[in-house]
Amino acid sequence: MTIRFFRSICIGLLLANPLRPDCAADSSPVGPSLLERQFADPPNSAFPGVYWYFQDGNRDPAGISADLRSMAEVGIGSALMLEVDLGLRKGPVKFMSEAWQDMFVQTEKEAERLGIQLTLGAGPGWCGSGGPWVTGEESMQDLVETAVRVRGPVQFHSRLAVPAPPTPYFNNLTPDLARRRLEYYADVAVLAFPTPSANLGIADLDEKALYYRAPYTSVAGVKPYLEPPAAPAPNAPAGIPKAQIIDLSKRLEADGTFDWAVPAGNWTIMRFGARNNGTTTRPAPQAGYGFETDKFSLAALKAHFANYADKLLQKLGPRPAAAAGWTMMHLDSWEMGAQNWTPRFRAEFERRRGYDPLPFYPAYAGEVVVDAATTERFLWDLRQTAQELLVENYAGGLSEYAHRHGFGPILTTPRSVASRRRRLGTRWDVRLWGRSPSPRWIRSSSILPRSRISSTGLLAQASTGSYFIPSSINRSGRTLSPA
């Protein structure tokens, strides 16, 4: 028996956008204006939509058809379809199995027949794009390190420890994913430098180096933004001299053995490597649970779609341009945290920022290079590069993929993404805002390409359901409604 979202779980309206061109006023002096005509006979774009969640395999053909007919009967114009696992009993239809894909085809054809637009999530769950098919190399990564301190002069010959992966922000790895995570490791560099006499430290390093970034709207103490780096202060304490940071990467053997004639003095040897940062699809159905894709890599996103949306498109066959059926792709709540590495990060950084980041890798570990201002400048450039890669390769890649296949992408406002939200929005046709659109987003959307805003309303959860009564739903609906 299908667990049916539309009738028995909750109601979530995706309210139509008052700023759409097809809802604009008509300046024609003769007869009723376009706005008056459309108010009397609203176009499909003005119809509300619903979130349509399937609970991990709980679906059947009869239930799907019944849901869609019910939507059409009450004037629902669109459905945002996601498959999730919220702890209910698992159903028999495994995510992306042949039976699952056959039911998706049925859903698409039935929605098209009924004039309902379908929006499909960019991956299982509601947090991004990924799945069990994502490899370690294609996953979200962080740069990590181990350090050993030696006193020279001495001939150092030993194995350097492999850097451990970072602790995931959401530490919910299955045993299989934990094993696969540990299996992935790629050496990046070995650097040596004179050991600093004092630990100067870097404030807010986890955020500045993009290891962890919690949502500032729901987690206490998180800064809404990071200040730009200040100008160098006179007589500021000196950090590690950049000229004394030595690249010894070629001395590292495949088994981790490292050999070096250490000069006189106290030295620090750091081994840097790339590790999976533990970010997974959430809350994905069991068969769709896996690593999130590398958000800086277009190749990783393409590999994800080859195992997901491409299979559904192949199953559907030729799709004529239509105003209903599968018309959009969607990135829902950004709950993937951050990442600070990708295999091409060094090359991309140097191309965009104009200098080699390698001597500044110790800053990832909290070491001050040159001085505090120079190190803060590097960390700012790190975040700027990360933002550009995310916008171009992830948001831009999803947008290009959607348009190439005749879809429009849609976005839910991210709160912890390593990117300015308005810049991210330049790659999307629709920005979906929770409860009520921010005035800043409404203003920015008026100057962004393909501007359109939708809002979610009439949503409740366990913590709010006790006071989310019909009268409050009515007020919320009238507040968010374009009419």
φ/ψ bin of 353: left (φ > 0), alpha (ψ from -120 to 50), beta (otherwise)? alpha
Specify the domain boundaries for CATH 3.20.20 within the chain. Answer: 5-133+280-338+386-480
Evaluate whether 11 touches 458 at the Cβ level (below 8 Å).
yes
Q: Of 190, 189, 192, whose CA–CA distance to 151 is shortest? A: 192
pTM (predicted TM-score)? 0.86
Residue 473's pLDDT is what?
54
Two tokens, residue 131: 């799945």
Angle at 66 between CA 60 and CA 69, to 5 degrees: 140
Residue 42's pLDDT is what?
82
CATH topology assigned to domain 5-133+280-338+386-480: TIM Barrel (3.20.20)
CA atoms within 13 A on the CB side of 25: 2
- Cα 272 to Cα 143: distance, rounded to the nearest angstrom: 7
Q: Which has more pLDDT, 428 or 267?
A: 267
Answer yes or no: is pLDDT of 114 > 90: yes
- Cα 18 to Cα 313: distance, rounded to the nearest angstrom: 32
Of the given ranges (15-19, 107-111, 187-191, 478-482), which has the lowest mean pLDDT? 15-19
H helix count then E strand count, the chain:
14, 14
Of the given ranges (8-17, 218-227, 459-468), which has the lowest mean pLDDT? 8-17
SS3 assignment, position 296: coil
Residue 24's pLDDT is what?
44
Answer yes or no: is pLDDT of 7 > 60: no
Residue 54's pLDDT is what?
94
Mean pLDDT of the chain: 84
